[in-house]
Structure 1
Amino acid sequence: MRSFPEDRAFVVRGSLAGVVFTFAFGVLGYFLFPVTIPQTDSILTRLVYTIRWQMLPAFSLLTGVLCVMYKRFQSSAINPVLGRGEHIIEIHQRYIRNTTEQLVLHVIGQLVLCTYLTSQTLVVIPVCSLLFVIGRMTFWVGYIREPLKRMFGFMITFSMTSGCLLYSFFCFLMSGPTFALHE
């Protein structure tokens, strides 16, 4: 197996840059993001608020599907059974597949996380949703330009989602799965 140390170094730099961007955007967004937050600690209200914010990340997936649809319609890849022109949509299909995987983790992470947040900390939800979109778009653009450049965007999405899941898991370990239905 051949080793490509320059490629690995480039990917590591992209990964670190993505994590640093996520952290900086997250902190600034937490304190500066101008969004209306529900002023109640009702779990139901937090869940509805969180579900509604998942519309933005879902558009990242919808955009990829629309792109493949358009590219198929405009090229020899119009009939996927024949296998002609599949190279035209390969990167976009990979984007859709990875975005679907990331979106499932993101939505689960956000839904669990919002049950541990208060109305004062709920701003994390829209900040994470925007980070998801930024991460997916930079992943896609990087992938199109040069596949190794996708790591910056991947790490924005992955580190944010991992952070939410890890924090939720920590809260789960500390307080358990139970909650009061009427807080």
Structure 2
Amino acid sequence: MIWGDLKTSIMNTAQDIDLKKEVQGIRTAAVKALIFSTACFAAGYLLLPKYMNFPVATFDALVFVLRVDLFILLWVVVAVGLVAHARRQSSADIRAAAIGRPSNSIKIKIAFLQNTLEQAFIAIGSHLVLSTLVAGPALSLIVVATALFAVGRITFYRGYPRGAAARAFGMVTTVIPTMVILGLCLVSLARIGIAP
């Protein structure tokens, strides 16, 4: 009986979505996020070295990036806190996920937590690798990527209830900086090789 109700609910929700409009909204939001991220990277790379001294030794660069990435870990803490708070407010959810299905009031928070964990893992890993490959002003890109991660998480969470197009700006703003950093890692490794 529960499976039938859930299947009907999913089908009704899917029928309510205008797929072409949603996909167009995703594309528009993605382009805006790409432009925004590019502008932030350019401004950060040009301006931050004027106001900050970035480390030039590899060990110091690694320490610097670990400290900056604390601000990405804080987003995981925020997401965990949202889920924990929602569980305490709901009699359906207080017994934990292993006991039953999550209620509608907590589903978005759980999805936000899962997505934030995934994005944080990839972002922090790529930042750490880049810190072993570059130093000096290039580290400003990691500071910008971390700031964009915060913007992405806020806009992703706020847009989540309104559908894919509404959360697309936040998702792309979270992902693009990480992809840029990963790309820089690959280019650097191809140039200098894996061996230190």
Cα distance, 1:25–1:120 mapped onto 2, change above 3 Å: closer
* 2:177 counterpart of 1:160: yes
Aligned to 1:54: 69
Give the CA deviation at 1:148. Answer: 2.9
Other-structure match for 1:7? 22
Structure 1 residue 144 corresponds to structure 2 residue 161: yes
Residue 192 of structure 2 aligns with an amino acid whose one-letter code is S
TM-score norm. by structure 2 comes to: 0.83
The counterpart of 1:45, out of the listed 55, 60, 85, is 60
1:130 to 120, 143, 147: 147
TM-score relative to the length of structure 1: 0.89
CA RMSD of aligned residues (A): 2.0
Larger mean Cα displacement after TM superposition, 1-10 or 154-163: 1-10
Judge conservation of contact 1:30–1:123 (CA < 8 Å) in 2: yes
Instruction: Tell me if 1:36 matches 2:68.
Output: no
Name which one, 1 or 2, has greater alpha-carbon Rg. Answer: 2
Distance 1:35 1:153 in 2: 28
Contact 1:143 1:149 in 2 (8 A): yes
The CA deviation at 1:27 is: 1.1
Give unpaired runs (5+ residues) of structure 2: 1-13
For residues 13 and 96 of structure 1, what CA distance do their matches in structure 2 show? Answer: 25
> Residues 122 and 85 from structure 1, CA distance in 2 versus in 1: closer, same or farther, beyond 3 angstroms?
closer
User: 1:101 aligned to 2:118?
Assistant: yes
Instruction: Choose between structure 1 and 2: higher helix proportion.
Output: 2
Kindly tell me: are residues 73 and 126 of structure 1, through their superposed partners in 2, closer, same or farther at Cα, counting changes over 3 Å? same
Deviations 1:43-77 (A, max 9, x none): 11000000110011111111011011111101122
Give the equivalent residue in structure 1 for 2:39.
24
Distance in 1 separating the partners of 2:132 and 2:101: 48
Q: Structure 1: which 5+ runs fail to align?
A: none
Aligned length: 178
Give, in whole Å, the separation in 2 of the partners of 1:118 and 1:69.
39
Change (3 A) 1:105 1:129: same
Contact 1:35/1:123 (CA < 8 Å) preserved in 2? no
Q: Which residue of 2 aligns with 1:174?
A: 191
Query: How big is the shift at 1:147?
Result: 4.1
SS in 2 for 1:78: coil
Following the alignment from structure 1 to structure 2, what is the Cα–Cα distance between the partners of residues 16 and 135?
14
Distance of 2:109 and 2:52 partners within structure 1: 35
Aligned residue among 128, 142, 146 for 1:111: 128
1:37: how far off? 2.8
Q: Percentage identity across aligned positions? A: 26
The aligned residue for residue 79 of structure 1 is: 95
